[in-house]
Amino acid sequence: MGFDALWISPIPENYGNDYHGYAALDWYKVNPHFGDDQALSDMIAAAHERGIWVMLDVVANHVAYIDEQYSLVTPFN
């Protein structure tokens, strides 16, 4: 189809069943809805083998709704 880039959804682990990236709970873990670290690495490697760039969407100004208990959010704990 001529694609030369993929722009994927935010991947941090989200609170509860959220997966959209606006409820980040752990910025160091991949949301299990999207697989695991190895699956992400494999997908990126497969894209690069085909000359496709991978862009990661990031929602840096949102974390899980935790009622200001920011110690529950990694790395803010």
In the chain, where are the structural domains located?
Answer: 5-72
- pTM of the full structure: 0.80
For residue 64, what pLDDT is reported?
A: 85
pLDDT for residue 77 is more than 70? no
**Rg of the chain in Å (alpha carbons):** 14
pLDDT for residue 68 is more than 80? no
Question: What is the SS3 assignment for 42?
Answer: helix
Predicted confidence (pLDDT) per residue in 4-57, tens digit: 999 999 999 999 888 888 899 999 999 998 899 999 999 999 999 999 999 999
